[in-house]
């Protein structure tokens, strides 16, 4: 009796264990799966569908416009190749429709800002993002189209374009400018010269000062030169004489020159040019650090000035007075 009872107990335990193992195996089979996802990226749609169905899986096709992929070719899939899944699992297969094409809109006469918005919006009616790319803007005057409005564009209106294509715009600068002759203001006082140029329809952009043997405050050069044809509204640069060189002269004397490079600027090439009665000479060429102090001891024989050029452009002129000893 005891042996029979023990045997029955053993058989029951074996049955329970087998059942647990079977259930675990079924769960693992359903979770991990016993089918392998084939690789279909780069294949034609028909071949991709055939491979997925042969693996006892269900293909789910999704079509999208793709600028770089040929129409009808699979460009992606999910799950990725060689993933183990259960039988009947859906496999998403992404198929290219090729580049999305549309018609070039007519931008002529539109303000530049509105034209840019139209380019970005091209393709939205096809639920495709990207629009067209603004490649280049050229400008010219026009007798009837206002400034900052589109005169013409390429590709032209109605042309077939692919989303992402580049577009060139020709933009109006307004009415053609009247050509005037730059008046001669050499020898005039600065204020009178500015007035004369303004009456001619020109704008004085910058006034520089330069040591000269002439009377101070008079124009000694102008750019463009007097008599040059120039568009109305264009800029003119004047050079005005500073304190007369040689007003105070004597034996060459040492002076201390100090210049502090501005802190709030990037590192740029500097040239420091010192001028006196004996001529001009470069006393420093280099690329100093912001905030760096530049000290020099130089000999001058008259009133002098220091010209500071930053990246080749005259930035500042500092005068030095020659003190005559009693």
Does one domain contain both 37 and 25?
no
Q: How far apart are CA 48 and CA 37, in angstroms?
A: 11
Asked if the model's pLDDT at residue 156 lies above 70, the reply is: yes
Q: Point out the domain boundary residue: 219, 244, 269.
A: 244
Handedness of CA 45, 51, 54, 55 (dihedral sign): negative
- Cα–Cα distances (Å) from 28 to 2, 32, 34, 55, in that order, read 39, 6, 10, 19
- Using alpha carbons only, give the angle 310, 214, 206 rounded to the nearest 5 degrees: 35
Show the domain range for 159. Answer: 101-172
Tens of pLDDT, residue by residue over 157-191, are 999 998 888 999 999 988 887 888 999 999 898 88
Tell me the residue length of the chain.
326
DSSP three-state, residue 129:
coil
CATH label of the domain that carries residue 164: 3.30.10.20
Q: Which of 139, 172, 205 is the last residue of a domain?
A: 172
Q: Which two tokens stand for residue 218?
A: 């008079």
Distance CA 23, CA 17 (A): 10
275 contacts 244 by C-beta, under 8 angstroms:
no
Q: How many domains, the chain? A: 5
Residues 6+ apart with CB under 8 A from 156: 104
pTM of the predicted protein model = 0.43
Domain contains 158: yes
CA distance 71 to 97: 4
CATH number for the domain spanning 302: value is: 2.60.40.2560
Model pLDDT for residues 270-310, shown as the tens digit of each residue: 999 988 877 788 899 999 988 888 898 888 877 788 888 88
**Chain Cα centroid distance, residue 154:** 22
Backbone angles phi, psi at 152, to 5 degrees: -160, 175
74, 40 in Cβ contact below 8 A? yes
**Residue 246: per-residue pLDDT:** 46
**184-231, pLDDT tens digit by residue?**
999 898 889 999 999 998 988 888 888 776 677 889 889 998 888 888
Q: Which of 81, 84, 71 is CA-nearest to residue 41? A: 81
Residue 220 lies in a domain: yes
Identify the DSSP state of 224: S
Rounded percentage of the chain residues whose pLDDT exceeds 90: 34
Identify whether residues 108 and 62 lie together within a single domain.
no
Q: Count Cβ atoms within 10 A of the Cβ of residue 246 and give its class: 0-12 exposed, 13-18 middle, 19 or more buried.
A: middle
Classify 136 as helix, strand or coil. Answer: strand
DSSP string, 227-274: T-EEETT-EEEEEEEEEETTSSEEEEEEEEEEEE--SSS----EEEEE
pLDDT in tens, 92-113: 999 998 888 888 999 999 999 9
Same domain, 120 and 164: yes
The answer to whether position 325 is within a domain reads: no
């Amino acid at each position: 009796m005891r042996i029979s009872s023990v045997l029955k107990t053993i058989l029951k335990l074996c049955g329970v264990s087998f059942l647990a193992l079977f259930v675990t195996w079924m769960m693992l089979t359903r979770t991990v799966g016993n089918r392998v996802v084939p690789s279909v990226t780069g294949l034609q749609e028909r071949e991709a569908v055939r491979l997925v169905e042969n693996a006892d899986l269900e293909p789910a096709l999704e079509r999208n416009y793709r600028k770089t992929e040929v129409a009808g070719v699979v460009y992606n899939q999910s799950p990725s190749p060689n993933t183990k899944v259960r039988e009947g699992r859906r496999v998403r297969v992404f198929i290219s429709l090729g580049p999305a094409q549309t018609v070039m809109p007519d931008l002529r006469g539109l303000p530049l800002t509105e034209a840019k918005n139209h380019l970005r919006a091209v393709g939205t009616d096809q639920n495709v993002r990207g629009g067209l790319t603004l490649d280049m803007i050229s400008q010219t005057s026009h007798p009837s189209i206002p400034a900052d409005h589109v005169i013409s564009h390429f590709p032209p209106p109605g042309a077939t374009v692919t989303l992402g294509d580049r577009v060139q715009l020709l933009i109006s600068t307004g009415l053609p400018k009247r050509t005037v002759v730059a008046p001669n203001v050499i020898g005039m006082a600065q204020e009178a010269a500015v007035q004369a140029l303004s009456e001619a329809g020109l704008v004085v952009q910058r006034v520089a000062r330069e040591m000269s043997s002439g009377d101070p405050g008079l124009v000694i050069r102008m750019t463009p030169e007097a008599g040059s044809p120039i568009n109305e509204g264009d800029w003119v640069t004047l050079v005005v004489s500073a304190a007369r060189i040689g007003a105070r002269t004597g034996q060459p004397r040492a002076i201390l020159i100090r210049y502090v490079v501005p802190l709030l600027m990037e590192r740029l090439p500097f040239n420091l040019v010192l001028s006196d009665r004996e001529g001009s000479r470069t006393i420093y060429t280099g690329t100093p650090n912001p905030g760096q102090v530049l000290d020099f001891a130089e000999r001058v024989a008259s009133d002098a000035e220091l010209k500071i050029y930053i990246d080749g452009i005259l930035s500042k002129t500092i005068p030095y007075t020659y003190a005559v000893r009693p």
